[in-house]
Amino acid sequence: MSSSRTDTGRAPRGGIDRAEIPALVARVCAGERRAVAAAVTELERMSDAAPDLLKALHPHLGHALVIGFTGPPGAGKSTLVNAVISHARGEGRRVGVIAVDPSSPISGGAILGDRIRMTSALDDDDVFVRSLASRGYLGGLSPAAVRIIDAFDAAGFDLILLETVGTGQNEIDVAEVADVRVVISAPGLGDDIQAMKSGLLEIADILVVNKGDRPGSEQTLQQLAGALSIRAGIGIKPPVLKTTATSGQGVPELMQAMATVGDRVAALGSEARRRRRARYLIARAAADLVADRIKAGQGGALDKLADAVLAGDLAPSAAAAKLLKD
């Protein structure tokens, strides 16, 4: 055990003793890299000690701003996140990154594997990157992400960047969990992207047209602004920015926009933001419970209800209420 710990320079495989928690939390709060890695591992795997660890972290939370980066494939999210990391580091800010890889529950692991692309960040003690398998395309963001946010927050990271690869339930979840939602698009992604953006518009605090050096970026910007103008909801219209992540063009303006939204969010108080994340955890757990009940009802209660729905004797909503009641 201890030799593998030294060999890999990574955290032990979870399972610390409860008695070790106070010391671990003190080291996490001091920003000690190895302690953060150990805490993250405990929380990711939801070890026996994890509930007590979360409780011990609780008094040390509330500093970090969580920024979600979502958007359609091909928009250059990863490159833009890297540019944001560099910029934040240039300002002396410490950055935690949670990168969500959709993985197949069937293959059991992330197909992308570890992300080598963040090599520049790997030599920097004030950037901590953790890749996290999602719960598959169907399952969405792992609740572990919310727990890891607490560890990063206690460790004094100023910014926590939550990046999804791909689309689907992950993006929806990231929108729920983040304090600031950045939706990234790019020119030339085709018609389907336009349709998708119309959905993502609902959740955006900031809209970014990346690959701003490509032809058509101005047109994409105008289309987004146009789509926004028919967003009927009250509230503040999100700014639409143009970036070129590869050159860094527009990234200072993005940082500024993130800070502006961050100030607005900070005014809500950190308890309100954390409560929102707790509500999200409960909602996800409730959805899981319902899914379990549906699975358990197959071949039995659920099939009988399904037959009644098929015969037109029962509305699906009435059948659902019955299923939840029993």
Residues 166-205 within binding reach of a second copy (CB under 8 A)? 166-169, 171-172, 189-196, 198-203
**Smallest distance from a second copy to CB 126, Å:** 27
Q: Does 300 bind a second copy (CB under 8 A)?
A: no
Is residue 114 part of the contact set for a second copy (CB under 8 A)?
A: no
113 binding a second copy? (CB under 8 A): no
Q: Give yes or no for a contact between 103 and 197, defined as CB atoms under 8 angstroms apart.
A: no
Contact 187, 211 (CB under 8 A): yes
Report the distance separating Cα 51 and Cα 64, nearest Å: 21
Answer for which of 29, 225, 266, 294 binds a second copy (CB under 8 A) is 294
Question: Which residues inside 61-90 make contact with a second copy, applying CB under 8 A?
Answer: 72-74, 77-78
Write the interaction track for a second copy spanning residues 248-267; mark x where CB under 8 A is met and - where it is not: --------------------
Binding mask 117-146 for a second copy (x = CB under 8 A): -------------------xxx----x---
Q: Which range, of 18-26, 89-97, 243-251, 295-303, touches a second copy by CB under 8 A?
A: 295-303
Sequence-ordered list of residues with C-beta below 8 angstroms from that of 21, at least 6 positions apart, any chain: 49, 52, 53, 56
Choose which of 32, 48, 52, 124 interacts with a second copy (CB under 8 A).
52
Residues in binding contact with a second copy, number by CB under 8 A: 87
Is 310 a binding residue for a second copy by CB under 8 A? The answer is yes
| 1-30 positions binding a second copy, by CB under 8 A | none
Instruction: Compute CA distances 248 → 2, 58, 97, whole Å.
Output: 42, 36, 19
Q: Are 165 and 81 spatial neighbours (Cβ–Cβ below 8 Å)? A: no
Half-sphere exposure of 12 (CA within 13 A, CB side): 10
DSSP codes, 212-245:
TTSTTHHHHHHHHHHHHHT---SSPPPPEEE-BT
**Residue placing its CB nearer to a second copy in the complex, 54 or 95:** 54
Minimal distance, residue 140 CB to a second copy, in Å: 10
Q: Which amino acid is at 9?
A: G
Distance between CA atoms of residues 304 and 22, nearest Å: 53
